[in-house]
Structure 1
Amino acid sequence: MRVTICAVGRLRAGPEKTLLDDYVTRFDRTGRGLGLGPVQVVEVEDRKGGGMAAEGDLLRRALPKGAVICTLDERGKLLSSPDFAGKLGAWRDAGRQDLALVIGGADGIDPALRAEAEFSISLGKMVWPHMLVRVMLAEQLYRAATILAGGPYHRS
C-alpha cells in the first residue's frame, strides 16, 4: 500500500526536513517487506490566498485516485501507536492500494474535504504546527511498520 502525505505549505531545508526525510527512509526500508510504502510527500501551496476552500481543492487534486483518505485533525480519533499500526495493516490487508494522509494549513482542513475522509486521526488535544505534524506522522508510520514487523523499536 503506497502512502502519500498531502500537506499544505512547503517544508524548507532544516531540522524538520532532515527528520522527515530520515523517518520516511526508515519507513520505506521497513515497510517494503510488509507491503507498505513507499511514502511520497506532496506539498501544495495556495499562493492566491483563497483560504481553506482553496487549500482543500489543491489537496483534493493531490490525492491518489481511490486512496483511503485519512485526515490529521484535532477532532479526529486518538489512537495508540499499536492501534495506528493495526489500522494501516487492516487497510493493506483489505487490498487498499493507496493511503493519503492529509495535513491542512494553519486554519486546518476544509470541512468539505474533511467530510470526504474515511478516517481522521488526532495527534492529541494540543494543536501542533503543521510542519512538525509531518515529522510526527512520519515517525508514527515508521513505528507502525516496526510494530507490524515485530521489531524492537516500539516498547509498550
Structure 2
Amino acid sequence: MRLHLCAVGRLRAGPERDLVDDYLKRFDRTGRPLGLGPVSEHEVEDKKGGGMAAEGALLARAIPQGAVLAILDERGQTVSSPEFADRLAGWRDGGRQDVAFVIGGADGIAPDLRARADFALSFGKMVWPHMLVRVMLAEQLYRAATILAGAPYHRV
C-alpha cells in the first residue's frame, strides 16, 4: 500500500527535514516487507495568496484517485500508536492501494476537503506547527510499521 504525505509548504533543509527523511527511510525499510510503502511526499504552495481554499484545491490535486483520505486536524480523533498501526493494517488488508495523509497550512484544511476525509487524526488538543506535524506523522508511520513487525522500537 502506497502512502502519500501531502502537505502545504516546502520543508527546507534543516532539523525537521532531517527528521522526516530519517523516519521515512526507517519506515521504508520496516514497512516494505509488510506491504506498506513507499511514502511519497507531495508539497504544495499557494504562491498567489488564495488562502485556505487555494491550498485545499492544490492538496486535492495531489491526492491520488481512490486513495483513503486521512487528514491531520486538531478536531480529529486521538488514537494510540497501536490503534494507528491497526488502522494502517486494516486499510492495507482491505485492499486499499493508496493512503493520502494531508497536512494543511497555517489556517488548517479547507472545509470542503475536510468534509471528504475518510479519517481525521489529531496529535492532541494543542495546535502544532505544520512542519512539526510532518515530523510527528513520519515518526508515527515508522512506529506503526515496527508495531506491525513486532519489533522492539515501540514499548507499551
Question: Normalization by structure 1: what TM-score?
Answer: 0.99
CA shift, 1:150, in A, is 0.4
- The aligned runs of 1:71-110 (5 Å cut-off) are 71-110=71-110
Identity across the alignment (%): 74
Letter in structure 1 aligned against 2:149: A
Matched, 1:117 2:117: yes
What are the Cα deviations for residues 97-152 of structure 1, in whole angstroms up to 9, with x where unaligned?
00000000000000000000101000011000000100000000000000000000
Give SS of 1:11's match: coil
Tell me, in whole angstroms, the C-alpha distance in 2 between the residues paired with 1:18 and 1:80: 25
Give SS of 2:12's match: coil
CA shift, 1:39, in A, is 0.4
What is the match of residue 47 of structure 1? 47
What is the match of residue 140 of structure 1? 140
Tell me, in whole angstroms, the C-alpha distance in 2 between the residues paired with 1:29 and 1:114: 31
Tell me, in whole angstroms, the C-alpha distance in 2 between the residues paired with 1:81 and 1:99: 17
CA shift, 1:88, in A, is 0.1
Q: Which ranges in structure 2 are unaligned for 5 or more consecutive residues?
A: none
Give SS of 1:75's match: strand
What are the Cα deviations for residues 30-57 of structure 1, in whole angstroms up to 9, with x where unaligned?
0000000000111000000001100000
Tell me, in whole angstroms, the C-alpha distance in 2 between the residues paired with 1:112 and 1:105: 15
Letter in structure 2 aligned against 1:124: G
Tell me, in whole angstroms, the C-alpha distance in 1 between the residues paired with 2:81 and 2:143: 7
Matched, 1:26 2:26: yes
Q: Which ranges in structure 1 are unaligned for 5 or more consecutive residues?
A: none
Q: RMSD of the TM alignment (CA)?
A: 0.3
Question: Normalization by structure 2: what TM-score?
Answer: 0.99
Letter in structure 1 aligned against 2:122: S
Matched, 1:155 2:155: yes
Matched, 1:60 2:89: no
Give SS of 2:76's match: strand
Tell me, in whole angstroms, the C-alpha distance in 1 between the residues paired with 2:78 and 2:17: 25
